[in-house]
Amino acid sequence: MLFRSALLTGLIFMRYSHKIFLCLGFVIAATSAAADKVTSAVEQVADPAPSFLVSMPIMDDDPANGIEHPVVEFVRFWGDVTGANIEIERYPFKRSIKQAATGQVDFHFPLIIDRDALNKSTTIRDLGFEYSTQRVMTINFILYTRLDTPVDLNKLSEYRLATFSGHGNLFPFPIEEDHAIESSLMKLSSGRIDGYIFAESGGDPTLLELGLTGIKRQLYKVYDVHAVLPRGGRGQKADQFITEAVSLLATKELPLSWQYHEYVDWQVGDDIIPRIVQK
C-alpha cells in the first residue's frame, strides 16, 4: 500500500513537474526584477548631491560670528537653488585665485573680466586659469578722486592711482595694489595718491563709513563678473554647475545686495544716497 502511494505520487510529480518548474521560474524572475527595481530606487535615493569646494577672498565681514559678506551669502544660495553642497574657504584675494587655478578648489569667486583688455593684449590662456563660461553678474567700478584735484579720465597714466589687491591687471596704466579699501581711501584723502579705482559695492559703503566729504566719485567702467576655474578642462563640472545656478537665479526674487544696479551719480553729502550703499 505504501509502495503504491509513493509510486502514484512520483507519477503525478513527473506529469506536472514542467508546470511546477515553470511557475518557480516565473516567481524567481519576478522576484529578481522587483529586487532590481528596489535596488535601482535605493541607488537613486542614495545618490549624493554634488559638492563643490569654493575659495573666496577675505572681506570686511565676521564669519566666525555668523556674519558673512553678501557675496558669500550669494554663492551659498547657489547650493540652495541647485541642491548642491557648497563649502567655502577664505583666503587673501590673490591666493584665493591661485587655489582655483591650481585645482586645490573647484572654483574661485568673484573675478572681473575685461574683454576689451583681453582682446587687445592677451588671451585667456595667458592668465593661468579659465573663466567660467557663464557671466554671473556685472559690477560698476568707481574712480574716487579728491574734489580739489581734478583727474582726467583720458589721461589716467599721468596720475598716482591705486586699486584693491588682485585687480591691477585690469588697467592699461600703472597702478598700485593695496590690501585694504580703508587705507587706500585715507591715502587718497591725505594726498598720497591721486585716485582709487574699485567696485562701488566695496568702495561706497567704506567711503560713507569713513565720512570723507572731500572725495568725488565717478563711473570708471562696468565689468562682467565670472568665476575662476582650473585650466585644462578640470573645471568642467564646476562650470556646468555655475551655468545651472545662474539660470535658476534668474527665476528667483533676490535680495537687494545681490542685484545689479545702474550707476547713480551721487556724492557724499547729498540729501539722497542709494540704500544699497548704506551699511
In the chain, the largest separation of any two C-alpha atoms, in whole Å, equals 126
Distance CA 100, CA 210 (A): 34
DSSP-derived pairing of the beta strands 137-146 and 85-91: unpaired
* The predicted structure's pLDDT at residue 48: 81
Distance CA 69, CA 91 (A): 14
Distance CA 132, CA 21 (A): 61
**C-alpha distances out from residue 226 to 46, 56, 172, 190, 239, Å:** 33, 13, 20, 34, 10
* The predicted structure's pLDDT at residue 18: 45
Q: Supply the DSSP symbol for 67.
A: B
Let me know: does 204 contact 277? Beta carbons within 8 Å.
yes
Where would I find the beta strands (DSSP E) of 130-257?
Answer: 130-131, 137-146, 161-164, 176-178, 195-199, 215-229
* The predicted structure's pLDDT at residue 65: 86
Cell of 226: 565670472
Helices and strands, number each (H, E), in the chain: 7, 9
Let me know: does 222 contact 151? Beta carbons within 8 Å.
no
Question: What residue type is assigned to position 18 of the chain?
Answer: H
Distance CA 250, CA 76 (A): 16
Q: Mean pLDDT for each 10-residue chunk of the chain (279 residues)?
A: 43 44 41 50 62 92 85 92 96 92 95 72 65 91 95 95 89 91 96 95 90 94 93 91 93 69 84 61
Bond into 110 cis (ω within 30):
yes
Distance CA 231, CA 243 (A): 17
